[in-house]
């Protein structure tokens, strides 16, 4: 796939770090707006979560800052500073830049931070960001993203051996369909047990992140 562009001819093709950084900004905007925009420290923590992330990353502050600088040049991220703020905070501009609705943003977030997924997985995993009415609404949202002109934002993959549903992938980071499929051990793990473990880990990490963000918030008023 070639480069994608939006109004003004700004290039819209990301490396993996830029994809993770932008996806996390979008996720926190939709899922925890009370703690958004994000400080650099909060954003690094969001990028490096061990749950709800595929692949799991260990990004440094310098790597995240370089990605933010690149996204800022393309008007997809902005920094907020000024009186009353002791720490600079970052926010995304994807909704305005690409004219995406909230359900479309929620789907893009999941595909950007967690990789290729089925409509059923997207339906359950986007609940904190947007409540889809049913699978048909998820499918409709995916088809709208896939049918964008001149460049689609998502693509439906061929069905893998041993699976019932076809997965979808985002196209912003130049991923290809012939990349290695999900690990066999992960695929073989019972869905219920895997889902419960993921939920427990997610809640633990969200609690820790909320603690850090509260400390940032408290410092702003000291």
CATH number of the domain within which 44 lies: 1.10.10.10
Peptide bond into 55 cis (omega under 30): yes
CA distance 22 to 217: 22
Is residue 2 scored above 80 in pLDDT?
no
Helix (H, G, I), strand (E, B) or coil at 16: helix
User: What's the number of CA atoms in the CB half-sphere (13 Å) around residue 101?
Assistant: 11
Percent of the chain with pLDDT over 90: 64
CA distance 108 to 25: 12
CB proximity list for 44: less than 8 A, separation 6 or greater? 59, 60, 61, 64
pLDDT at residue 162 in the model: 81
* 146: region left, alpha or beta (phi > 0 left; psi from -120 to 50 alpha): alpha
Percent of the chain with pLDDT over 70: 73
Q: Which pTM was predicted?
A: 0.78
pLDDT tens digit string along 139-155?
999 999 999 988 899 99
Assign 28 a pLDDT band (cuts: 50, 70, 90): very high
Mean pLDDT of 103-126: 97
CA distance 94 to 71: 10
pLDDT at residue 66 in the model: 98
CA distance 211 to 218: 10
Running DSSP on this structure, what letter comes out for residue 99?
T
Is residue 8 scored above 50 in pLDDT?
no
Q: How many domains does the chain have?
A: 1
Q: Quote the domain boundaries for residue 113.
A: 5-220
């Amino acid at each position: 796939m070639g480069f994608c562009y939006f109004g003004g001819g700004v290039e819209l093709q990301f490396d993996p770090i830029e994809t993770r950084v932008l996806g996390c900004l979008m996720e926190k905007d939709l899922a925890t707006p009370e703690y958004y925009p994000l400080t650099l420290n909060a954003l690094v923590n969001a990028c490096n979560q061990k749950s709800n992330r595929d692949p799991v990353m260990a990004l440094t502050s310098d790597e995240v800052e370089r990605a933010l600088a690149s996204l800022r040049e393309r008007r997809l991220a902005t920094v907020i500073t000024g009186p009353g703020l002791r720490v600079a905070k970052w926010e995304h501009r994807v909704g305005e830049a690409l004219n995406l609705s909230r359900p479309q943003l929620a789907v893009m977030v999941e595909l950007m931070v967690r990789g290729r997924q089925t409509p059923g997985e997207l339906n359950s995993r986007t609940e904190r960001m947007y409540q889809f009415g049913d699978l048909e609404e998820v499918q409709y949202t995916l088809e709208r993203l896939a049918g964008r002109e001149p460049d689609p934002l998502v693509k439906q993959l061929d069905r893998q051996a041993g699976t019932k549903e076809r997965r979808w992938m985002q196209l912003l980071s130049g991923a290809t369909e012939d990349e290695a499929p999900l690990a066999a051990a992960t695929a073989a793990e019972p869905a219920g047990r895997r889902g419960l473990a993921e939920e427990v880990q997610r809640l633990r990490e969200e609690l820790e992140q909320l603690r850090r963000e509260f400390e940032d918030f408290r410092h702003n008023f000291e």
